[in-house]
Structure 1
Amino acid sequence: MVQWRDYLRAGRLMLQRCADCARYLFYPRVLCPHCSGVALTREPANGSGIVYSTSTVARRAEQGGDYNVSLVDLDEGVRMMTRVDGIPSKDVRIGMRVRAGIVQEGAEHLLVFRPAQEGM
Structure 2
Amino acid sequence: MAGRSIPFSPASPDSAPFWQAAGEGRLLLRRCEACKRVHWYPRPICPHCGGATAWEEASGRGTIYSHSVMRRAPEPYAIAYVRLEEGTTMMTNIVDCDFDAIHVGQPVRVVFVPRDGAPPMPMFTPEAAA
**TM-score, normalised via structure 1 length:** 0.84
What corresponds to 1:73 in structure 2? 83
Percent sequence identity over aligned pairs: 34
- 1:22-65: per-residue Cα shift (whole Å, max 9, x none)? 11111011211122112x111110011010111011246xx4x3
| Offset, 1:105 | 2.4
Aligned length: 114
Contact 2:80 2:91 in 1 (8 A): yes
Give the secondary-structure state (helix, strand or coil) at the position aligned to 2:94: coil
| Offset, 1:5 | 1.9
Which 5+ residue runs of structure 1 have no aligned equivalent? Answer: none
- 1:74-108: per-residue Cα shift (whole Å, max 9, x none)? 01011111111121222211110101111202223
Contact 2:27 2:57 in 1 (8 A): yes
Alignment root-mean-square deviation, CA: 1.8
Alignment partner of 1:45 out of 58, 74, 92: 58
Structure 1 moving runs of 4+ over 6 Å:
none
Which 5+ residue runs of structure 2 have no aligned equivalent? Answer: 1-12
Contact 2:44 2:54 in 1 (8 A): no
* 2: CA distance, partners of 1:8 / 1:100: 10
